Chain A
Amino acid sequence: MSTDRNLIQLVTPAGERISHPEFDPWVKDIGDEQLCSLYEDLTVIRRIDVEATALQRQGELGLWPPLLGQEAAQVGSGRALREDDFVFSSYRENGVAYCRGVDLTDITRVWRGTASSGWDPYSVNMATPQIIIGAQTLHATGYAMGIQNDGADSVAVTYFGDGATSEGDVNEAMVFAASFQAPVVFFCSNNHWAISEPVRLQSHIQIADRASGFGIPSLRVDGNDVLAVMAATRVALDRARHGGGPTFIEAVTYRMGPHTTADDPTRYRDANELEDWAAKDPILRVKALLERKGLLTDEVQQHVHNKAESVARELRSGCIGMPDPEPMDIFKHVYSEPNSWLDRQQDHYARYLASFGDPAGATSEEGAR
């Protein structure tokens, strides 16, 4: 893997900062303090992921798509964004959501099955996760074309996986983005597995090379190197802001866990591969870098640990304490204005719920309000 062509890397797996004349300038503002802050983000996001996975095993979440191993790809890019940039992500970008400031309880809402979507996209400038593979890329391109019309300099950023690059939606989104030179960044987290389909089967060329067919410049970056990801994302954002059109970023990372909590990767994946990637862990790498720089003090470690634990507690209590929705809530947020067709359904459903009430009064039905 070390012979990877074109792979932008600023920090080696051993934690050595290597110089890269083209990309160093893009992270020259990242000093000691910022590095510690990135380390905190990475650790906290992993802790969120671990806690949510545990909550699923305890029956508190219906499902959870772990991001274990992909923290740097999400933090490096998420922290590069400006507040008025807009994110269109897949379901795995819970780390990006954290960076955008999404409330922890809101992150779990959909996975607990108590809401159709977790948050107000405009409050954090991040759309709620897209479950349909790749569909969010179309939304991003459309949003970016809207930015163009407005004459603004914000950017739409869309996240998707290696498998999604084979989807029609993603290809259409890239065609439009190129045609209209829309300010959109296509951020592909190549985690090597589309559920059980390996990326080598998905694409016989590097994923980043697919972009050139659309006339979109691409960057291939070590997705487990938070600094390299940040630099690449900044390059792409800068290009988009200044009328340079779309950029495709392939962040080469690895899904260390299952596709979702309902998946068992040991059935299709070689354990050696997992071991190879464990050696390139994104958090250990930053930790090693901090150590080399003498920044990894007990104080820093304790602070990061406390932060992660408090976030985990907040996530757990927010998730478990979430009220169940009322049956009639299903009709909320379908249309922004009254709709007679929906009213009729609502009326039918209310009467249906009422029909559960039995004459003996043995139940306490709340549906028929």
Chain B
Amino acid sequence: MIKEFRLPDLGEGLTESEILSWKVAVGDTVTLNQVIAEVETAKAVVELPSPFAGVITALHEEPGTIVEVGKPIVSFEVADDGGASPSGAAPAGAATAAAGTAKREPNLVGYGAVVESSGRPARRARTFTTPAVEPVRGPVVEPVETELVETEPVRPENPVLEPVETDTAERPRSTPPVRKLAKDLGVELAAVAGTGAGGLITREDVQNFVGGGELSAPVRHLSAVSDSVFPAGLAPQGGREVRTPIKGVRKFTAAAMVASAFTAPHATEFLTVDVTPTMDLLAKLKTSRAFSGYKLTPLTLVAKAVLIALRRNPSLNSRWEEVSQEIVQFNYVNLGIAAATPRGLTVPNIKDADTLSLLELSAALTGLTETARAGKTAPADLSGGTISITNIGVFGIDAGTPILNPGEAAILAMGAVRKMPWEFQDEVALRQVMTLSLSFDHRLVDGEQGSRFLADVGAILAEPGMVLTMV
């Protein structure tokens, strides 16, 4: 009789593995526990011992393919006696609960992500956007999880879904018994509108869907909501949820953040500095004749401090180029400034900012942000940045873990300037204090360089005169 061997979960909660090589060929006679293949999981390269003694009749997968756990990979002709696995290697725990058309997920450990029957194994889909033209960046922690969802790709073949939302890729909310019912009935839950609490898909929804045929799901959804939940006339405009197509700056931002967060290993450091001397300096400069008519803010001085500190710590002004396998060290600084605009976040940059005097820098910053807010930033100003600053202090925030603008090695978040009781000359005094948060790409920058850079910026802001020791 022919017995199939299905790929087991070789680690704890793995859903797929790659066949590296076969150690046997069709027609070979193998003994129990003879090594038949080498397989690589996310955790280890392991050898597969044959679960049967017999003759290989088929190898179902080529070396180099990634195979879902539970898929048959090899068949044996086995003598009809016992001794071998009676369940045909259908792993433990999978015996009860009948099949229907559903494929078992023989995940022994039970907490692995379930790959729903989407045909192909769900490989992590990494979005690599070209690093050169990334006009977007996130000042603080972006909810990157929204793009991380690795559940079943929504199948395009369902016509009901066509109009909208097919790429939101969020698993429809329901309960296990209802999921099973839907699976048994061949219903794609994504096509069913939920009428339960918070849009939960109930048993009735699935049954109605089957009975109701091809009714457009969104229509059903809306009518159901207004009928059942809200008394007539009280349904808020636009229903209980608002759905906005993911596009434009939001889409770009999301893609850039995902690319950055999952390409560059981020490390973030924080430094809280007494910036009273800097604020004093700022007040002095504002009243000086040379700066009259210019807009001077703490950002201006932080930007200058960054540019000075970069000279001493050039590795923070570099780029990791995966394609060419090179690290690009920039001998110029295109300083990006995160700007909140009505259309969303943009990060225009000041070209060759390191060559600018404080006066020129101040003018450039003012021009840059005003243009950005007006939505008129030229594409050239959005690309080619080498390091960025995000001013979260303007929102009254102290610190965060900024995500790198893709292609850049570092980003500094400046927090709000606060009057706080602080150690000053061995006593507690009311001082103006700011927290700096620096994220850097750990492929390019080690803790040492990151720390030295941040300490330099902090030293300048704590005592602007320290610049004399640095230039």
Contact A365 B97 (CB under 8 A): yes
Contact A60 B91 (CB under 8 A): yes
Question: A69-106 CB contact bits vs B (8 Å, 1 = yes)?
Answer: 00000000000000000000000000000000000000
Question: B24-50 CB contact bits vs A (8 Å, 1 = yes)?
Answer: 000000000100000000011111110
Contact B92 A60 (CB under 8 A): yes
Contact A57 B48 (CB under 8 A): yes
Any chain A CB within 8 A of the CB of B385? no
In whole Å, how far is A258's beta carbon from the nearest beta carbon of chain B? 7
Contact A113 B108 (CB under 8 A): yes
Contact B97 A363 (CB under 8 A): yes
* Interface size class of chain B, counting residues whose CB lies under 8 Å from the partner chain: 35 or more
> Which residue of A57, A113, A321 is within 8 Å of B49 (Cβ)?
A57
Question: A303-344 CB contact bits vs B (8 Å, 1 = yes)?
Answer: 000000000010001001110101100000000000000000
Contact A324 B96 (CB under 8 A): yes
Any chain A CB within 8 A of the CB of B342? no
Question: A356 CA to B206 CA in the complex, in Å?
Answer: 13
Contact A57 B45 (CB under 8 A): no
Contact B96 A62 (CB under 8 A): no
Contact A324 B44 (CB under 8 A): no
Any chain B CB within 8 A of the CB of A188? no
Question: A242 CA to B204 CA in the complex, in Å?
Answer: 72
Q: A60-B8, A262-B12 are in contact. List 16 more A-B contacts (CB 8 A).
A: A54-B49, A57-B49, A58-B5, A59-B7, A59-B9, A59-B108, A60-B92, A114-B93, A258-B44, A261-B46, A262-B43, A317-B82, A324-B94, A363-B97, A363-B98, A363-B100
> Which among B45, B94, B96 has the greatest number of chain A C-beta atoms within 10 A?
B96
Inside 8 A of A63's CB, which chain B residues have their CB?
12, 108-109
Inside 8 A of A167's CB, which chain B residues have their CB?
none
Inside 8 A of A56's CB, which chain B residues have their CB?
8, 10
Inside 8 A of B5's CB, which chain A residues have their CB?
58
Partner-A contacts on B (CB < 8 A): 5-12, 33, 43-49, 51, 82-83, 85-87, 89, 91-98, 100, 106, 108-110, 176-177, 180-181, 184-185, 203, 207
Question: A62 CA to B33 CA in the complex, in Å?
Answer: 17
Question: A85 CA to B87 CA in the complex, in Å?
Answer: 40
Contact A57 B46 (CB under 8 A): yes
Contact B43 A263 (CB under 8 A): yes
Inside 8 A of B44's CB, which chain A residues have their CB?
258, 262-264, 267
Inside 8 A of B109's CB, which chain A residues have their CB?
62-63, 113
Closest B residue, CB atoms, query A319: B92
In whole Å, how far is B177's beta carbon from the nearest beta carbon of chain A? 4
In whole Å, how far is A86's beta carbon from the nearest beta carbon of chain B? 30
Contact B85 A262 (CB under 8 A): no
Inside 8 A of A365's CB, which chain B residues have their CB?
97-98
Contact A356 B180 (CB under 8 A): yes
Inside 8 A of A57's CB, which chain B residues have their CB?
8, 10, 46-49
Q: List 13 A–B pairs whose Cβ atoms lie within 8 Å, in order of A's numbering.
A: A54-B49, A57-B10, A59-B9, A59-B108, A60-B91, A63-B109, A114-B92, A264-B45, A317-B83, A356-B177, A356-B180, A356-B181, A364-B98
Contact B177 A113 (CB under 8 A): no
Closest A residue, CB atoms, query B34: A54
Contact B12 A62 (CB under 8 A): yes
Contact B184 A358 (CB under 8 A): yes
Any chain B CB within 8 A of the CB of A347? no
Closest B residue, CB atoms, query A263: B44
Which residues of chain A in 141-195 are interfacial with respect to chain B, using CB atoms and an 8 Å cutoff?
A: none
Closest A residue, CB atoms, query B45: A264
Contact A59 B89 (CB under 8 A): yes
Any chain B CB within 8 A of the CB of A366? yes
Contact B100 A60 (CB under 8 A): no
Inside 8 A of A61's CB, which chain B residues have their CB?
92, 108
Any chain B CB within 8 A of the CB of A112? yes
Inside 8 A of A266's CB, which chain B residues have their CB?
45
Closest B residue, CB atoms, query A323: B95
Inside 8 A of B33's CB, which chain A residues have their CB?
50-51, 54
Contact B86 A324 (CB under 8 A): no
Contact A321 B86 (CB under 8 A): yes
Inside 8 A of B89's CB, which chain A residues have their CB?
58-60
Question: A358 CA to B187 CA in the complex, in Å?
Answer: 14
Partner-B contacts on A (CB < 8 A): 50-51, 54, 56-63, 112-114, 258, 260-264, 266-267, 313, 317, 320-322, 324, 326-327, 352, 355-356, 358-360, 362-366
Question: A113 CA to B106 CA in the complex, in Å?
Answer: 12
Inside 8 A of B207's CB, which chain A residues have their CB?
359
In whole Å, how far is A329's beta carbon from the nearest beta carbon of chain B? 11
Contact A320 B85 (CB under 8 A): yes
Contact B92 A112 (CB under 8 A): yes
> Which residue of B8, B10, B92 is within 8 Å of A113 (Cβ)?
B92
Question: A261 CA to B47 CA in the complex, in Å?
Answer: 11
Question: A63 CA to B107 CA in the complex, in Å?
Answer: 11
> Which among A57, A263, A363 has the greatest number of chain B C-beta atoms within 10 A?
A57
Inside 8 A of B98's CB, which chain A residues have their CB?
363-365
Question: A362 CA to B47 CA in the complex, in Å?
Answer: 39
> Which among A58, A258, A324, A352 has the greatest number of chain B C-beta atoms within 10 A?
A58
> Which residue of A113, A263, A362 is within 8 Å of B93 (Cβ)?
A113
Contact B49 A62 (CB under 8 A): no
Question: A320 CA to B185 CA in the complex, in Å?
Answer: 32
Question: A281 CA to B184 CA in the complex, in Å?
Answer: 55
Question: A61 CA to B240 CA in the complex, in Å?
Answer: 47
Given A320-B85, A362-B100: A59 in contact with B12 (beta carbons within 8 A): no
Contact B96 A327 (CB under 8 A): yes
Contact A355 B11 (CB under 8 A): no
Question: A59 CA to B181 CA in the complex, in Å?
Answer: 28
Contact B86 A320 (CB under 8 A): yes
Inside 8 A of A355's CB, which chain B residues have their CB?
177, 203
Question: A364 CA to B98 CA in the complex, in Å?
Answer: 6
Closest B residue, CB atoms, query A353: B177
Closest B residue, CB atoms, query A367: B96
Inside 8 A of B10's CB, which chain A residues have their CB?
56-57, 261-262
Closest A residue, CB atoms, query B5: A58
> Which residue of A58, A313, A327 is within 8 Å of B8 (Cβ)?
A58
In whole Å, how far is B210's beta carbon from the nearest beta carbon of chain A? 10
Inside 8 A of B46's CB, which chain A residues have their CB?
57, 261, 264
Inside 8 A of B96's CB, which chain A residues have their CB?
324, 326-327, 366
Given A262-B44, A324-B96: A58 in contact with B49 (beta carbons within 8 A): yes
Inside 8 A of A324's CB, which chain B residues have their CB?
92-96
Contact B86 A59 (CB under 8 A): no
In whole Å, how far is A215's beta carbon from the nearest beta carbon of chain B? 40
Contact A358 B92 (CB under 8 A): no
Closest A residue, CB atoms, query B51: A58
Inside 8 A of A364's CB, which chain B residues have their CB?
98
